[in-house]
Amino acid sequence: MIEQLNQKFAIGNSLKFLPHADGLIQGIIETPICTGSFFLLGGHVSAYQPKSQQHPVLFMSRDAIYTVGKPIRGGVPVCFPWFGPNASDATAPAHGLVRTELWDVVEAKQTGASIVVRLQRELPNYRLDYRIEFGASLKMQMSITNTSDQTQQCELALHTYFQIGELSKVSITGLESIAFRDKLTGTIEPAAGIPIAFTAETDRVYMGKVAEIELHDPAWNRIIQIRPENSQSTVVWNPWIEKSKRLNDFADDEYLQMCCIETANVHPDELSINPGQSAVVGVQVQAQDKSILPK
């Protein structure tokens, strides 16, 4: 399998496929401008770091489990065709069907200084075509095609885990004017009017389109810019102390090193796709040293 993948899709030393310690297959990117990686399991982007950055952009748990059928804790899990628990089937896996299944590589190419990989996954009623660009920024774009003969409602979330320097100093701007559904209380809260800071378990769905979100990380003197494409929902999550202890694939102290800012279309802004039609949802992630950003 790995030999065929490398024969067909390897790009010099910039993209190669290697066996992961746990028997999974990982695509490894190494270029003059960035490093990155992804698993065929879940179409799961697992690392991204521009050479200009001292620290990884994406968080991966040191207790992550790497097994087909299990989600990988960290990176960018793909939640589809539902987000969270299944509304009608309590036995169905959380966050849908595709993050625990193997995806196929359909294309790999160098575009300028970037490496572009396309992964595909078929499932009942849908085909997913996932374009991932590892370059000066990380670009992820999911094309969802309705292969059934009926209009389909579905949810998508690119459940991105960001690595951070010091949680107590982190703030998120760009969502101040957006009302949110607080998943911990079940209530709809008005726009806060101030940046998001983490002082307790946080699990919110911001409802509305935004042009840009910024994750400010003073401890590492960097700002991560997040530019959604065709996304009506942004999920912001930090498990904090007690939930971290309940996650068996997440170390108790790792809530201090991460936060999730997820580009999504989830309830009440599900996607509705007509037969044979496609919806495209994506996000561009760029890490900048704070000192070089315009004042």
**Interacting residues with ligand TA6 (CB under 6 A):** 71, 84, 94-95, 159, 183, 203, 235, 237, 260, 262
List beta partners, residue 36.
Answer: 29, 48
Q: How far is the CB of 101 from ligand TA6 (least distance, A)?
A: 15
| CB of 95 or CB of 181, closer to ligand TA6 | 95
Q: How far is the CB of 160 from ligand TA6 (least distance, A)?
A: 10
Phi and psi based region of residue 2 (left: phi greater than 0; alpha: psi -120 to 50; beta: remaining) = alpha
| CB of 139 or CB of 204, closer to ligand TA6 | 204
| CB of 37 or CB of 61, closer to ligand TA6 | 61
Q: How far is the CB of 115 from ligand TA6 (least distance, A)?
A: 27
174 contact partners, CB below 8 Å, separation of at least 6: 210, 211, 212, 213, 214, 226
What are phi and psi for residue 169, nearest 5 degrees?
-105, 0
| CB of 206 or CB of 237, closer to ligand TA6 | 237
- Return d(Cα 24, Cα 19) in angstroms, integer: 6
Q: How far is the CB of 95 from ligand TA6 (least distance, A)?
A: 5
- Return d(Cα 221, Cα 39) in angstroms, integer: 30
- Return d(Cα 79, Cα 157) in angstroms, integer: 5
38 contact partners, CB below 8 Å, separation of at least 6: 26, 27, 44, 45, 46, 117, 119, 132
Query: CA-CA distances (angstroms) from residue 174 to 48, 69, 216?
Result: 23, 35, 11
Q: Is the peptide bond before 85 cis (omega within 30 degrees of 0)?
A: no
| CB of 224 or CB of 235, closer to ligand TA6 | 235
Q: How far is the CB of 237 from ligand TA6 (least distance, A)?
A: 4
Is residue 270 a contact partner of residue 154, using CB atoms and an 8 Å limit?
yes
Q: How far is the CB of 235 from ligand TA6 (least distance, A)?
A: 5
| CB of 156 or CB of 235, closer to ligand TA6 | 235
| CB of 96 or CB of 135, closer to ligand TA6 | 96
Q: How far is the CB of 159 from ligand TA6 (least distance, A)?
A: 6
